[in-house]
Amino acid sequence: MLLPDWLLYLYLIYVVCYILIFVLFNFYWRKVRPAEAVTDFTPSVSLLIPVRNEEEQLPALIASLEQLRYPRLQIIFTNDFSEDASVKLLEVAIVAAHARGADWQLLHSTKAGKKAAQTTALLAATGEIIVSTDADCRYHPEWIRQLVAPFIDPKILLVAGPVMTLPVKSPMFSGFQQIEWSSILLVTQLAFGLGHPLMCSGANMAYRRATFFELKGYDGNSHLLSGDDEFLLKKILRAYGPAATTYVNHPEVLVQTAGQTSWRALFSQRARWASKWTAHKNIGHTVSALIPFCMQLLFLLSPILLLFGPLACLVFLMLWSSKIAIEKWVVGNLLHRFGIHLSFSIFVFSSIIHPIYILITGLGAVVLDWEWKGRKQ
């Protein structure tokens, strides 16, 4: 069979566009915000950590929190109806923190869900700046100082930072998650750089406490278990514009989070995240969700080229070799900046698997019910 001209041109144009997109990603990611020099700018900070059944993560979390270097730091743990030993572990840690003179507190949410837990903590928080994170995270000692440094500009109301998974047992599965997280960071940086922020992570973000209450916090989305981060970002964007937000991608601001331990858990988490896009009721969000889905669909359909003879097979090889090469270059550079070095075979594996992963995740977000910490949305 002869290769239809339109199919040939479609994939040739797509190869060029895909490469240019990653070149754009690389350009914006290389514009790293330099680490702020240590100054006297130390606004009071309240670090909020909701906790639900995290007894396995808490010892490492507490050790990481003890290494933070920041002079005016209040840490509030909020128990979201934990059913394990989380509360007992926190009570012991808080007694030790008080003995060191640290301001650590444990509160108990009166309603189920992360947003309810965050609201409970916000009502007790005394910091000018609120920093949110999760109980399965680890931090650089200068994390707080670097994350809040942009607030020296009074126009800045929200600061977002990068998140990356910690290694898990399987090198291939671990590498896939880190590469996939890298793609999220690249898109996030590009969107902030272009003045159209799309998303941020509640595991690594900071905002002015006064702004949260001024914009009525989670009103309008409190019924959703997820999305405490993106919905607040969108409220600030609507009220003050993109100049009120910034993204800091310096290595000291990186927050490391526990990786998923199975494909099932990973698909469930990503489908839950993807399902938030329908709640935004915004054409921009819809388009930004559909574009990567359609792009990966083109890769999945590309084996049809193998039916059309030598020229089509050459286009197929060019398509996939370009995909692997550009992803290895751009994503590899990002990971190297964070001290993560993955083998070439992991990049090949991830490049091949990723289109299937995106397709399943997108469909799962639309047609399946998902669960978060034992609760269904």
11: which 2 tokens?
């994939």
The answer to whether residue 162 scores a pLDDT higher than 60 is yes
Instruction: Write the pLDDT tens digit of every residue in 40-93.
Output: 899 999 999 999 999 999 999 999 999 999 999 999 999 999 999 999 999 999
Sort strands 45-51 and 137-139 into parallel, antiparallel or unpaired: unpaired
Name which residue leads in pLDDT, 293 or 105.
105
Res 367: pLDDT: 64
- Report the pLDDT value the prediction gives residue 24, as an integer from 0 to 100: 95
Q: What is the pLDDT of residue 282?
A: 58
Each residue of 12-21: pLDDT tens digit? 999 999 999 9
Q: What is the pLDDT of residues 296-307, one digit of tens each?
A: 899 999 999 998
Lowest mean pLDDT among 29-38, 169-178, 316-325: 29-38
Over the stretch 230-281, which tens digit does the pLDDT of each residue have? 889 999 999 999 999 999 999 999 999 999 999 988 988 887 776 655 555 5
Identify the band that residue 34 occupies on the pLDDT scale cut at 50, 70 and 90: low
Tell me which residue has tokens 């370009």.
322
Give mean pLDDT, residues 159-175.
95
pLDDT digits (tens, 9 = 90+) for 326-354: 999 999 999 999 999 999 999 999 999 99
- How do residues 110-122 score in pLDDT, each as one tens digit? 898 888 999 999 9
Minimum mean pLDDT range among 36-40, 70-74, 95-99, 180-184: 36-40
Map tokens 């930072």 to a residue.
161
Residue 223 has pLDDT above 80, yes or no: no
Mean pLDDT of the chain: 89
| Range 138-149 average pLDDT | 96
Q: Is pLDDT at 286 greater than 90 in this prediction?
A: no
Q: What is the per-residue pLDDT for 205?
A: 97
Residues 6+ apart with CB under 8 A from 181: 163, 164, 165
The whole-number pLDDT of residue 295 equals 87
> How would residue 31 be classed by pLDDT, with cut points 50, 70 and 90?
confident
For residues 49 and 20, the answer to whether their CB atoms sit within 8 Å is: no
For the chain, what percent of residues have pLDDT higher than 70? 87
Residue 289 has pLDDT above 60, yes or no: yes
Q: Report d(CA 347, CA 332) in Å as an integer.
A: 9
Residue 366: what pLDDT? Answer: 65
Residue 32, phi then psi, degrees to nearest 5 = -70, 130
Q: What percent of the chain has pLDDT over 90?
A: 70
